[in-house]
Amino acid sequence: MNLERNLQALAKRNPGLASRLYTLQIPPGYQTLPARTGSPTLKIVTEGRELFLHSRYDPVREIMSDIDSQGGFQSLNPDNILVILGCGLGYHLLELVRYASPEKKILVCEADPVVFRLALGLHDFSALLQNPHTEFFVGEPPDAVHDPISRLFRLYENYGIDFRSANAYINRHCTDYYKTLSEKLKGILSVGVSNFTTVHKHLSTWQKHIFQNLPYMAAGGGVAELAGRFTGKPVFLVSAGPSLDKNWHLLREVKGRHLIIAVDTAYRILLSKGIKPDIVMAVDGQKENFVHLKDIREPETCLVASPIVYPETVSTFAGPVFFFNFYFPLSLWIEDNLRPKGLLQQGGSVATLAFDLARFCGADPIVFVGQDLSFPEFRGHATGHSWEETAFRNITRFKSIATLEYEDIMFSGKTVLKTTDIHGEPVYTYRVMRDYANWFSYEFSRTNAQVINATEGGILSGSALQMKLSDTVDLCRDKAIPVREALFDSISPAAAEQIQAMNLKLRNIGSNVKELIHLGAEGEKLAGSAISAFRSHDADRLSRITAKLASVGKQSEELSSCAGFISYAYQKELWPMLRALMNCHETRENHDLFELAKLKTRYEAIALAASELDSHLSQYLAGVGDSVQ
């Protein structure tokens, strides 16, 4: 009865897993039998050896003691995703249902699908199984955990992961699996939080830069025009890691025969060696990153740029420019309302975007060069990196360039880890760079093309084939292509009528944004009056104000709905303010007062977000002037 009910519930959310479990045969070595307390325990028999996966005396007490030692389920951070490592027979899941709110985001991980099926036959988990906020990860390889965790993680909602592990159970069964899975999850979280922090910190700048770059986006090409242009042909991705010093000279044999994509930090290095990459990628919105391209006038190299890139990067570039869009609301809006530029997937660094561009172009093989993601001999960059220009000015009789580089790495404020490189030698890296390596490893497994790591050092591995660059160049000799023609014949700017239609929409959005500024201020003032009426117990006045607030709220929703990037900007302002409000003891103690305070905060956030957006949008519209009718 429990099994059937649970599988029916699971099928509503995860029909694939439900189908697998339905047809799964229980091996004869798996046995559930009563423990001394009467609760079922689990025994497996392999090669004549018996192993109890739960206590043979009191399995419930054993597993709950593990959970309680980690803080139990009563002290969970409401903003964190809860990850359960090890389901076993599921006694702790029954306790979880008692304490977790229906909105709590939960990922339940079980290495052994047989054990999970046995648990479904013992207890009624139907409420948990069909909860849209709960994901079950059962019997899948650890790398695949990206998918369920990405369905749960939401920007501005989740800041971390709380782990609750059935330690006694996982120490007896599939121990290495859970260890690997835990590390994968922490890595995903690190990248997710890093991306969140970046977006939150720079959202205003990104919006400003997108509007400043928009005229160039309209006139320039898009990576969409490069789709499949290099199908079955080698593409070399060049980064500025220290190992580039070993083999950069071999790229001279590649130039003109195969596509070379350089990240911005490697561009000046390659040019100083007489190697002109076909594409340089620039994605960062910070002015500091512009130094890698500043004062370079090279018409034979194409720029592939993010819409958020520092505007002078685009306006001063001498060669053709291709833009791409990414999963950022204003960028997505432009993708939908201008000639599509193409979407690229990022894993937190420019090299991850370069890799996705290579896939987008149909490249095979995709060859990495200079992608150390670590610090061999405490070196952070290849010779000729722009970092050296600043460092040379700081050399003294007491500090060599090597000392400065060591201090720059070790005292950066980032988490430094010791690991092993592809040769098995110890090497230091940043945690975030290790997470990038994990992102690459996962994406390699999802890539049809052969991936070759010709860095000859560093920590990039996964399913990539490790080869010397000299051998890779030999392997690719018979796959030459006229690279310049393939690139320069691809540029297709947006049509004038497309640009005008987009600008008209932006003009209308601008009018809505200006109205939102006034509504936000009005709503904030009304909510403040409502709080005053509540505290003075003036029910009639509170009722009148509440009716006005409802009207303002409806108008705000209607105006905001015209473009998703308005709500996104609002969320950026709102969540930090709500977090500060939640720390206010007075409002948290009184539910009604807390709701009114939240309402006031929401309108304050609307006014702030709309004012900032109005500034950027008005500047753009003033620039296009009479073309918007």
Is the pLDDT reported for residue 402 higher than 80?
no
- Digit-coded pLDDT (tens) for 151-186: 887 655 555 788 999 999 999 999 999 999 988 887
pLDDT for the residue numbered 165:
93
User: Binning pLDDT at 50, 70 and 90, where does residue 392 land?
Assistant: low
Contact by Cβ (8 Å): 401, 309 = no
Beta bridge partners of 162: 82
pLDDT at residue 257 is higher than 80: yes
Q: Is the pLDDT of residue 389 over 80?
A: no
CA–CA gap between residue 423 and residue 420 (Å, rounded): 8
Say if residue 18 is exposed, middle or buried (CB neighbours under 10 Å; 0-12, 13-18, 19+): buried
Q: How far is CA 76 from CA 96, 104, 163, 444, in A?
A: 11, 10, 10, 35
List Cβ neighbours of 431 (8 Å cut-off, separation of 6 or more). Answer: 190, 414, 415, 416, 417
pTM of the model: 0.75
Show Cβ contacts of residue 126 under 8 Å, excluding neighbours closer than 6 positions.
Answer: 5, 6, 8, 9
How far is the C-alpha of 629 from the C-alpha of 616, rounded, in Å?
Answer: 19
CA pseudo-torsion sign 582, 587, 589, 593: negative
Contact present, 603 and 520 (Cβ < 8 Å): yes
DSSP 289-306: GGGGTTT---TTSEEEE-
Average pLDDT, the chain: 89
Instruction: Give the model confidence (pLDDT) of 83-112 as tens digits.
Output: 999 999 999 999 988 888 788 899 999 999
pLDDT of 193:
59
pLDDT of residue 626: 55
pLDDT of residue 533: 92
Tens-digit pLDDT profile for residues 406-452: 777 788 788 889 999 999 999 999 988 998 998 899 899 889 999 99
- pLDDT grade, residue 629 (50/70/90)? very low
Residue 393 confidence class, pLDDT cut points 50, 70, 90: low
Amino acid type, 429: T
Of the ranges 184-188, 227-231, 389-393, 438-442, which one carries the lowest mean pLDDT score? 389-393
Q: Which helix (H) or strand (E) holds 204?
A: helix 175-219
Average pLDDT over residues 284-311: 92
Tell me: pLDDT of 261 over 90.
Answer: yes
382 Cβ contact partners less than 8 Å away, ≥ 6 residues apart: 240, 241, 242, 243, 244, 245, 248, 266, 269, 370
So what's the pLDDT on residue 260? 97
Read off the pLDDT of residues 560-602 as tens digits, 9 standing for 90 and up. Answer: 888 888 888 887 787 777 767 766 666 666 778 888 888 899 9
Average pLDDT over residues 475-488: 87
Does 213 or 162 have the greater pLDDT score?
Answer: 213
Bridge partners for 238 per DSSP: 262, 369
